[in-house]
Every structure is written in C-alpha cells, then in structure tokens.
Chains A and B, each alone.
Chain A
C-alpha cells in the first residue's frame, strides 16, 4: 500500500504552475472589475448611491391671500393634508393594498393610481421614480389618522401639510375672485414656463378671475427638505442621515404674495341682495375718479369651494347646461345691446357735432317712418328737447338725431368712451363689444348700408354691443367729467410680510373730447330720469339718495321655440334685457352703477330698482359720510336749472304736461 511519497507526488508537479496561472488571471479580472467600478465609474456610481438614499420631500408654498379693499379675507388657506408617494420606495404589493384601504379608494381610483406609479417605475433609469407624486389631497381626519399610525408599514408614503384654498364669502364675487383646481398634463407642459416653479401633478392652479390673472404672484415657490432613507424607504435617524446628505438640505418655500382687491365685499353683498329677485344678470360698481371696481357681480354664481376639489362630470354638466349659464362672468365675457343706456352717447355726439342744441325741439308722434319701415316709440312724446328725450327715453327723438348726426359721428364719440374695445381689466376673457361704422357695414355687407342701421345704433340696438364693465367705465367717464379710466380690480400686491410689491394707481385710458357742458347736460338729464315724475326710473327712486341714470330695455333677437324648451323657458329667453346705468350722488358722482338683468324685461321696472337699492345702501353703509354733500346745489350751472323735486300731485301733473 505504501509507496514512496516522493514518487507519488510526481503526478501533481506539473499542475501547480497552471493552477497558479489560473489564480493570477482570475484575480487580475477581479481587480480590473474593481478598477472599473471604483475608479473609472466611481463618480457616477457615487451619484447613484446618493440618489438611492437621499429623497427630496416637497414643502408646499402657501398661496397668497386675497383681501378686499377693507382687508377682509376673500380667499384664504385652511390646513389640509395630502398624501405623497415616492414610487421608488413604495411597496407596490402590500403597501399599495394598505394605502388603498386607508384612503378608501374604489377600484377605478386604485387602478388609476397603480397605473401612475407603474409608469414611473417602468424604466429603471427614469429619475421620476425618486420624485414624489400626490396620490390624495385634503384627506379626512380618519384617513389621516390611519395613515399616520401605520407610517412604518408604508415606506415611501409621506403626509404633507398642504393648505387648501377656501373662499369664505362662498358665491359672492365668485367670478371675479376665481378659483383653483388641479393642473392637468397640458398645464404642466404649457403653463410651467410662466412661473418660477414648474407645475407638478397634484398642484392647483388659478382657473378664472384674479386667481388666474395673478397666478404667478399668488402661487409662491415650493421648497424642499432632503431626507435619507434606507432601502425600505423609511427615514433614517437624523444623526445617521447627516453624513450622507449633500448641502443644501433645506430650501424654505417662499409664500405667495397677498393681493388686495379693489372690491368691497360688503358692497358686493349689497349688490347680491339687491339682485335677489332676478335669476340672471350682472352689476358693476365703479369708483368714477379712479376706475377701481368696487363690486362686480355675475348671477347666478356658484360655490368655488366645491369647484376647487373638482366636481363630478354630472355636476359639471349641470353647470354647463343651466339656462342661466352660471359659469359665465356676465360683467365681461359677453356683450349685449345696451339699448337706451346708449342714448346719452348719441346725444353727446349730436351736440358736439353741432347738429342740435340743447334747446332744439323735435316732435315725437309715436313713430318714425323711414322708407317702407316704421320705427316706433312707446308713446307719442310731443315736442321735446334732448334733455326731455333722455328723461323719457324717446326713441323717435333719437331716430331723428341719428339722421342728423350719422353713423360715424356716433361711433366716433362712443369709441372715445371706450365702446367697441376691451377695457383691459385683465381677467376672465373680456368681450370687446361693438360699435359699427359705415366702413364696418361696407366691409361686412357691401353696398347694403342703410340709414336704418344708424337709427338702431342711436338707441343702442342694431350692431351696438357692450359689456357691463365697459358701460360702467363709460358712465364713470361721464360722471367724472370726461376721463376714461382703465377698470381695475387689484389695489396692491404685498409680500407675506406686508412689504409692497406693486401698487396699482389709476390708469387713464383717454380723455374724451366732449365738453364738460355737454356732459353736465347729460348728468342733469339723467338725474331727471330718476327725479322727474316722467322719468323712466322715477318709480324706482328711493328716499335719501340722489342718483342720475339711464334705463335701458334692450330687445333680444327673437328666438324660435326649441322642442326642448318648456313654455316658461321659451318666454324667458325672449324677454328683453333690462339695464340701468347711472351714477351717484347725482350732483358730484363718486360711483358709477351699471345693472344688467338678463331677460329682465323693462329697465325702468326691473333694473332701476336694483341700481337704486345699491346706491342707497352704498351711501348708508359703505360710505356714509359722503352723503353729507348737498343734494341739489351744484357749482356747475345746469343749462336750464335743476328740475324741482316733484312732490305733489299738481306738480306731477304739471311736469307731465310740460314733457308731453
């Protein structure tokens, strides 16, 4: 059995060399690989290794508040919690099931969420896997409690304090204030360039009104905090985290700027109250010496607090299908025939062009014939001056005036007052309105121009159209003696610390060329509209407030009855629009008031009372001391002296007799 060991070993001798060679080669490969990983690709690997552990947690910026001119909070932020998930750290199995349970998601929501997460996880090189995405916001307290108490079982899930927008005045001035809702893919792509901090899914963005107009100012810039997690996505204790975290570790969010509006919510509520009897319409109250909008109401309104959370398709459709079109801001978005509220501008054109003097008399027999057509007046007014024509709103007078002054002269002066062009108020897609000229007709209907168009234009029909805001601006210009201001809804912008960012002084659009005498005549005439027994707004006058104004009843294009219209709807849609445009106090106006009641019927009966109530309560509740100014006396001498305030039956009869 035993052979010499030395001999035995000869069998192996040659093999050792090969084995050594093999070992050397193998270790050569290992060292090469080590060099490749640590030296050649070291930098990249180091970066990736940090990405593995360092997570960026967003800190939402607090959106700026909206305040009214008296400092009342119009749009604020209330505490709310949102759930964010970092896809990379999230457990798509158990973690997902838990999250769905805690958030009480239905199947469809769960599937959507799964899809969103899976998309970011699909590609390993997609760095979005490390970015937080919002999966739920404004969660209830029970859901919050459930998630907080199970935080350890939910790696990659963060609860963030994300303040929620709240509109304490609910539907009041909702169109002007606007609202937010969640950004869509398109917003993220297209609107991110407009702001410092790009939008991300889950962010909210101003959709209409000032919220949209001043989105960039209000939004602020979100901050972030870095945290270090382990492979399960759970945060590590602070001590261990610090070594790994690159500087900077924290970026505080910058809160958005606070915006003070020109509107006064108390007045806004007065306007709402005054319009209570009417389902649809709009009103604008403007400071005549600045162009600042004190109130802008569009009716019907909605609760922006509901829209901010996103409403269901059915709810949204109900809003869209509503016959009163609650989504539309009727102060700006649509233009309408101004009807008789336009007559003062025709009158001013005629006087300024020297086609008529204040003392000239035109006879109204109740109708006006032009070729084959007959233009009608509500009644036969007899021989009346321009002043009386405005007071009683005589159409025949203005038909005659139209023939005297012509289309283009009317247009010239109307345009000076801002008709036919956007006021530039800056929010909610403003309509331009329309003022036709001969050239416009020539272009649109070549060779078809008829004097009849001018007749219609003279009384605010035909192709004359205006927005409520525009008309308010024009009346403010009459009231202030000829300065057209750009309507403004923002008073100033401040930082959260109260530092002034931007002030908004009045902006003059232009000064009209109409003489102040002519404008005084108009004001005086419009005072009679209210104070003279024969005036169209006489029945709407109120004790204790002096208002000058003009009513308007704008015909709407007759609408055939659709099969789906019930009778009520059919009649409603064919009713005239009711207008009241005016100023107060009558002698030295401070505010211009325009009330538009859509399908409201008669201006005098339906719109004027609303305007009166607004004026009265404005001077009682909003600016009481202004009422100290004397009601009657005025430095500027009226052309024929002020009409006596009509009180007794005899006086009434006399006034009536004189007008006819």
Chain B
C-alpha cells in the first residue's frame, strides 16, 4: 500500500475538522448525561462514549487509507449497504411498528440505514467519477444514479423510515447538483421532487407518517391547534427550547430531558434538552459548530485533488447538512417530525458510527488532497 502513513501526517491532519467534530461529540455526551439522568438508563452517556471511541478508531482507519482504494471497492461498499437493508427486512427486529434494526443478542442492535447513507455517497461518487463529461448531463445520464438512489430508498421506506429515505433523496440531489447538468436535467430533478413526493404519499407513506406531515401543516396554519395530537412533541420541544431564554435553566435543570417531556429525547430531541438548559448562548454555539463543520467540508471538497474526493466530501457534507437542518427544523417546530438524528450529538451506536465514518472520509479527502 503506498503511503499509508505519510512522514508528516501530523502536519496534514485537519485540526479544524477534528476539533469541531470532537467538540460536538463531547458536548453531545455531556448533554446525554442530562437527558438520561432521570430515565431508566443513566449510563446512556457512557454507552455513547464507547461508541464514539469505537467510531473514532474506525474513522482513523478510514482516514489514513487513501480514498482511492474506496474507489476500487466503491460498488462493493454500496452493495453491502443494500444487502444489509435487505437483511433488515428479512431478519430485522421490530420496534414501535417499524423494522430498522438487526439485533445481535439482547443488547446490541445495528441500524443499517444509518450506514447506508455513507455507502450511497461512496457508490454515487464512484459512478460519477467514472462517468466524466465535459458537457452537461442529460436526463439519460441521470438514470443510473437515480436507480442507485431509489433502490436503498425503497428498501428503507419498507421498514418504514421516512426520514432516512428522504435523506437519501436529498443526498442524491445535493451530489447531482454539484455536477454539470443540462437545463432540462436540472428541471427534471426539480420536477421529480414533487412527483416523488406525491407517489410516496400515495403508495409508500404509512398513516402515522402522513399524520405527522398533516399535523405539521396544521400547526403551521394554526399554531394553537393540534398540540396534543401528533403536534405534541413538536410543541413541547419548542416550549422547552424557548424556555431556555438567553442563558438557559442550567445544566441538569431542564424539564424536557429529565422530566420525560420529550420521548426520544436522546435520539431525536437532544437539541431541545441542550437549548433549554443552556439557552440561546449554548444553542447558538452548537449551531455555529455545525456551520463551521459544513462550511469546512465544502472547503475540503473544493480543495480535493480529484472528482472522487470532491464528490465524497460534498456527499458527506450534505449528509451532515440535511441531518442538521431536518433535525433542528423539527425540534424548533419549522419542519415536520421525522426521526432524523443530530450528527454526533444524538444517542445511538449506528448513528454515531455513520457520522464518525463521515468525519473519517472528510479527513481522508483533506489529508490526501496533495498526494499523488
């Protein structure tokens, strides 16, 4: 293997990326302690710490191997992701009406859809890397990437997991918009969004998912109504966040986490807990960290040495971006409630693993930007 460890690795490490990602993760762990304190599992933060450590080691490994090797096995990675999704549908564990997990014994569960997002990015990167074009891409050129996205999307919707499926689509759009497109392809992508939405609404969405979307719409039209039906969580979350005011209620003194006002607080609503306890100052700081992370990722993409690296970086950046937007939008009541985690901040092994891999990939592209 050429240049697995360069002589001046320390000089090449992207300290900004590492610092920002680590800061988010550390704040997340501290926040999880508050979230879990009154629940039945006060050791939540420890579990998270283990996962982060494991993910960090993995990310290191991912970062140091030149990403061009991922190009070689790109379709295998993509294929394994889809295989795991298929496996979920066959042997998966059902929790709360959806089958998203593969269980290993009692304690360990793995959620392939989280990893699939990374696999999709690698797969699409490989395809587009090997399909260079000096002109804009026509509609036919979009066919294969579209199919590559639709396969995992459908598998994920079957679980069903609306949020992750939606993310796959958004990642696809983000990556495709990076490439040069013909006007009609651009139009096609823009039109396809509502078409996909309508088809999805009719054939793929479950009742509870529709209910959430309707509820969101209702709450937009009449914010007072529907606070107790499906809009309850969103409403409670905004109240919790808002009640933090400027400086927050103080660590461990919030109501959202310790008092169970937000179920799924550890996975979907950790930001509410954080914003309530640390107020606007804390919440704005966290937002700033994500902003830096995403902007830095775009910078990494821009300075990548080849298209594969650039697409990889943008793909990963879009994973971060859409996760942050959808989760924050949801907890702040400006987007429907869909179960999308906050990167590196939410509790959950699969989620942590997926995002540490993302950081590893970014680091990889950043480290190898000058190598030949």
At the interface, yes or no: A12 with Cβ under 8 Å from chain B? Answer: yes
Contact with B along A229-267 (1 / 0, CB 8 A): 111100010001001100000000000000000000000
* Cβ contact within 8 Å between A8 and B236: no
Q: A46-B245, A53-B255 are in contact. Are A230 and B130 (CB under 8 A)?
A: no
Please choose the segment from B40-48, B209-217, B276-284 that sits at the chain A interface, where 4 or more of its residues have CB less than 8 A away.
Answer: B276-284
* Cβ contact within 8 Å between A12 and B280: no
Q: Which residues of A contact B88 (CB under 8 A)?
A: none
A48 vs B224: C-alpha distance in the bound complex, in angstroms? 13
One of B228, B291, B334 near A27 (C-beta < 8 A): B291
One of A11, A38, A229, A236 near B283 (C-beta < 8 A): A38
Contact with B along A7-42 (1 / 0, CB 8 A): 011011101100110010011011101110111011
Q: Which residues of A contact B332 (CB under 8 A)?
A: 30, 33-34, 37
Q: In angstroms, how far is the closest chain B Cβ from the Cβ of A532?
A: 85
Q: Which residues of B contact A27 (CB under 8 A)?
A: 287, 290-291
* Cβ contact within 8 Å between A236 and B307: no
* Cβ contact within 8 Å between A42 and B242: yes
A49 vs B307: C-alpha distance in the bound complex, in angstroms? 50
Q: Which residues of A contact B83 (CB under 8 A)?
A: none
Q: Which residues of A contact B238 (CB under 8 A)?
A: 37, 45
How many residues on A have C-beta within 8 angstroms of the other chain's C-beta atoms?
Answer: 47
* Cβ contact within 8 Å between A243 and B304: no
Q: Which residues of B contact A20 (CB under 8 A)?
A: 295, 298
A35 vs B329: C-alpha distance in the bound complex, in angstroms? 13
Q: Which residues of A contact B280 (CB under 8 A)?
A: 34-35, 38-39, 42
Complex: chain B residue closest to A124, CB-CB: B227
* Cβ contact within 8 Å between A38 and B314: no
* Cβ contact within 8 Å between A243 and B253: yes
* Cβ contact within 8 Å between B295 and A23: yes
* Cβ contact within 8 Å between B227 and A49: no
At the interface, yes or no: A44 with Cβ under 8 Å from chain B? Answer: yes
Q: In angstroms, how far is the closest chain B Cβ from the Cβ of A510?
A: 65
Contact with A along B321-335 (1 / 0, CB 8 A): 100010011001110
At the interface, yes or no: B16 with Cβ under 8 Å from chain A? Answer: no
* Cβ contact within 8 Å between B260 and A42: no
Complex: chain A residue closest to B242, CB-CB: A45
At the interface, yes or no: A79 with Cβ under 8 Å from chain B? Answer: no
At the interface, yes or no: B239 with Cβ under 8 Å from chain A? Answer: yes
* Cβ contact within 8 Å between B287 and A33: no
At the interface, yes or no: A78 with Cβ under 8 Å from chain B? Answer: no
Interface size class of B (residues with CB under 8 A): 35 or more
Q: Which residues of A contact B236 (CB under 8 A)?
A: 52, 231
A44 vs B238: C-alpha distance in the bound complex, in angstroms? 11
At the interface, yes or no: A216 with Cβ under 8 Å from chain B? Answer: no
A121 vs B177: C-alpha distance in the bound complex, in angstroms? 48
A125 vs B304: C-alpha distance in the bound complex, in angstroms? 54
A-B pairs, 4 with minimum CB distance: A45-B242, A49-B243, A42-B245, A5-B306
Q: In angstroms, how far is the closest chain B Cβ from the Cβ of A265?
A: 54
Q: Which residues of B contact A567 (CB under 8 A)?
A: none
* Cβ contact within 8 Å between A34 and B241: yes
Q: Which residues of A contact B241 (CB under 8 A)?
A: 34, 37-38, 45
Offer 22 A-B interface pairs, CB within 8 angstroms, sorted by A. Answer: A8-B306, A11-B307, A12-B302, A12-B314, A15-B177, A19-B178, A19-B314, A23-B291, A23-B298, A23-B321, A38-B241, A41-B242, A42-B243, A45-B239, A45-B245, A46-B245, A52-B255, A52-B261, A232-B260, A236-B38, A240-B38, A244-B255
Q: Which residues of A contact B307 (CB under 8 A)?
A: 5, 8-9, 11-12
At the interface, yes or no: B301 with Cβ under 8 Å from chain A? Answer: yes
* Cβ contact within 8 Å between B225 and A124: yes
Besides the contacts A11-B180, A16-B298, A33-B332, what 17 more A-B pairs have beta carbons closer than 8 Å? A5-B306, A8-B132, A12-B302, A19-B314, A19-B317, A20-B298, A23-B294, A23-B295, A30-B325, A34-B241, A34-B283, A37-B238, A38-B275, A45-B245, A46-B245, A124-B228, A243-B253
A53 vs B305: C-alpha distance in the bound complex, in angstroms? 55
One of A9, A31, A232 near B287 (C-beta < 8 A): A31
A260 vs B130: C-alpha distance in the bound complex, in angstroms? 102
* Cβ contact within 8 Å between B242 and A44: yes
At the interface, yes or no: B310 with Cβ under 8 Å from chain A? Answer: yes
A23 vs B305: C-alpha distance in the bound complex, in angstroms? 23
Interface residues of B in 201-239 (CB under 8 A from A): 224-228, 236, 238-239
Q: A23-B294, A23-B321, A236-B38 are in contact. Are A52 and B239 (CB under 8 A)?
A: yes
Q: Which residues of B contact A44 (CB under 8 A)?
A: 242
Q: In angstroms, how far is the closest chain A Cβ from the Cβ of B189?
A: 14
A30 vs B286: C-alpha distance in the bound complex, in angstroms? 12
* Cβ contact within 8 Å between B334 and A125: no
Q: Which residues of B contact A196 (CB under 8 A)?
A: none
At the interface, yes or no: A657 with Cβ under 8 Å from chain B? Answer: no
Q: Which residues of A contact B339 (CB under 8 A)?
A: none
A563 vs B275: C-alpha distance in the bound complex, in angstroms? 82
At the interface, yes or no: A3 with Cβ under 8 Å from chain B? Answer: yes
At the interface, yes or no: B259 with Cβ under 8 Å from chain A? Answer: yes
At the interface, yes or no: B163 with Cβ under 8 Å from chain A? Answer: no
Complex: chain A residue closest to B276, CB-CB: A49
* Cβ contact within 8 Å between A49 and B284: no
Q: In angstroms, how far is the closest chain B Cβ from the Cβ of A57?
A: 17
Q: Which residues of A contact B226 (CB under 8 A)?
A: 124
A5 vs B134: C-alpha distance in the bound complex, in angstroms? 13
* Cβ contact within 8 Å between A38 and B329: no
* Cβ contact within 8 Å between B279 and A236: no
